[in-house]
Structure 1
Amino acid sequence: LEANVLRGQATVQATEEALLSAGTAWNNAQESLQEARRQRDEAQRELHECAARERALQALYQRLQKPVPGLGDGPTLLDTLRVAEGWEHAVEQVLGHRLQARVGDGEGLAQTTAGSFLDISPRDGAMARVQDEGMLLQQLHLGDGDAGSLQDWLWGLRCAPDLDFACRERGRLAPGEAWITPDGVLVHARGISFPATARDGAGLLQCRRDLSEAAAALSTTQGLAAAAEAQLSTAEEAQRAAQQQRAHLDAQLQEERRHLARDEHELARLHSRAEAEQERTRERERERGRLAGQVQQLQERLATARLQIQTAQPLCRDLERSLAEVEAKTQASRQRLAQKRSQTARLREE
C-alpha cells in the first residue's frame, strides 16, 4: 500500500506538472487567439477601407468618363492607353477630351461623325515620323496598337522633370517643340502655359491608376483578411484543444487525488493500527518485565524461606523430641493420677 501511495504521489505530481504546462499552453493559446482576432479585425477594417476606396474611385471614374453623343460603341483611347507613372496629369492635360476618342483601324476614321477617332493600326516606315528620346510619346503604350499613332497629337512635346529644368533648357527647343512637366506645364521657347486644373485634381488617367492600385490593394487585403480569418480559426481550434486538454488533465488530477487520498487514509489507518499494536506489544513487554520482576522476588523469597526452613529443621526436631518427652511425662503423670484417683476411690469405699 505504501508503494501504491508513493506511485500515486508521483503520478499526481506528474499530472500537476502536465496541468501547469497545459495551463501555460492555454494562456499562450489565449494570447495567440487575441492576437489573431486583433489581426482579423485589423484586416477586416483595412478590407472595408480598401473596398470603400475602390467603390469611391470607381464612382469617380464613372463620373469622369463623360459620354460623347454620336460616338458609337467600341474601345476608346482611355481603354487602351497606358501611361508611365507620374505623367498621367501631363498626358491628360494635352489630350483632354481626346481620351474619349474611339480607336480602331483606318476604316473607322471615315465612319466617325462626332467626337474623336484615332487610327492605331501600324504604319509603314514611309508614313512614320521618328521622335527623339525623351519625348512625351515615349511615356505611352497602346497595348496591341501602335503608340506612334499619337505622335500627331503629342508632336514636339519633350519631358522635363520640373519647371526649373524646362525654363532653363528653353534654348534647346526646336521650332514647334515645347517642354512639358509632370504637372502639365508647357514651356515653349518664348512662352509658358499652365494647366487649367491642378495636378491634385481629379483626372481620368490618375483616377484609373488609383483605381487599379486600389483594386490590387483590395485583392491583397482580401487575401490578408482570408489568411487572418484562417489564422483565427487555427488559433480558436488550438485554444479549444488546449482548453480540452486542460479540462482533461484537471479531471484526471482530481481523480488521482481522490485515489491518493483514499490510499493515504487507508495507509494512515493501517499505521494507526500498527502503532496501537506496537503499543500493546510494548505494554505486554512491560507486563512481562513486571512479572519477571515479581517472579524474581518470589524466587528470592522462596530461597530465603527454604534457607529459613533448612535453619529451622534442627530446632523443629529438638522441639519434636522435647514435645515427645513432655507428652511421655504427661502420659506418665496421667497414669499416676489415675492410680491415685483409683486408690482414693477405694479408700472412700473402705
Structure 2
Amino acid sequence: MTTLADLPLRDDLRGRTPYGAPQAAVGVPLNVNENSFGIPDVVRDDIAASLARVVSGVNRYPDREFTSLRHALASYLGHGLRADQLWAANGSNEVLQQVLQAFGGPGRTVLGFSPTYSMYPLLSSGVGSTWIAGERDEAFELGAETARRQVEQYQPDVVILCTPNNPTGTDIGLDVVEAVYEAANGIVIVDEAYQEFSDRESALTLLPGRERLFVSRTMSKAFAFAGVRVGYLAADPVAIDALRLVRLPYHLSALTQAAAEAALRHSEVMLANVAAIAAQRDRISSRLVELGYAPYRSAANFVLFGGVADPAGTFSRLLERDILIRDVGLPGHLRVTAGTEPETTAFLTALAEIGNDA
C-alpha cells in the first residue's frame, strides 16, 4: 500500500500530522469551542430566505470583492472602520493563511507565544515560513515586556498574538499589542477569535496609523456560525490590497456571503447568548477549584485546567459518559468548552463522579 513516505512530499512536511480534533457523535460535545446554542429562529428564517434569493444566480460567479458583506462587517465592528478596511474568507484560518502567504514565505519567520493555537505552526510551514515558539509568563499570561523582549530578540517577519489565547483562555491588554508593534519591523496579527467573550478593549482601536497591524475575527464562536466558515479581519486599506495578490479567484461563495450578511443583520440576537456562555465558563472555573483542579483565568468560551492526575484516563472516562472534551497536549491539563447550562452540569457532575486519581 502506498504511504506518504512513497510520495515526493516536501521535505519540511515529512513526519508531520494534519490538524484535527477528535470527532465523535456524543450527547455533550465540549471539545472544539463551538457555540452550543443554535441559530435563533428569526435568523434562521432570514438566512433561508437570503439563500433562496441567491441560489437562482449561482450559475454566475459571486461578487469577487464581497462588497456588501464588507460594508456589513464594518458596520458590525464600528470603530469608524470603512468597507475598504475589511477582508473575509472561509474561516479565520484562511484569513490568516492569506496574510502569511503575502508576508511570510521561505526564509521568513513567524513568532507566536506558546502554548497557543496549534494551527499557527501548520499555517506557517504551509507557506514555507519558520515557526518560532516564544515563551509566556507564569500561568500562561503574556506581559508587554516579555513579548517585546522576544520580538527584539528574534526580529520575526510576522508576529501572531492570540487574545483571548487558545488553548489557555488568557487575554492581553492593548499595552502588549503596542509594545509588540513598536518592537517589530514586520506584520503584527492580533487574532481576536474569542473577543466577544472578553471584557478587554479590542485591538481595533489601535488600527489608525498602524499599516502593519491586522486584527482577525471569526463568526464561528460567538455568532454560532462554525459550520458556515466565515472569518474576517480589519487592517489598513493598503494591507488589504496585499491580500488580493494571494487570494484565490472568487474565494467566498455567493451562498456564504448571503448567509453571513443575514446573520450580521441580526447581530444583537446572534450575540444574545454570549453572557450566558460566559456565566457557564465562570461556573466551570469555580467548580473546578472546588474539585481540586487548577483552572486558568479565561476570557474565552472555554476553560483550561491543570492538576489532572491522568488526562488520558479522565478524557476516556468522560467519553464513556457521552461527554467529549479536549486533551490539548499539555501534561496534566485538559480543556473544556462552556456549553449550555445542562451541558455544563453534565460535565461537572461526571467529573466529580470520576475523581482525580492517577
TM-score bucket of the superposed structures, by smaller chain: under 0.3
User: How high is the TM-score relative to the length of structure 2?
Assistant: 0.18
Q: Which has the larger strand fraction? A: 2
User: How high is the TM-score relative to the length of structure 1?
Assistant: 0.18
- The structure number with the bigger radius of gyration is 1
Q: Which has the larger helix fraction? A: 1
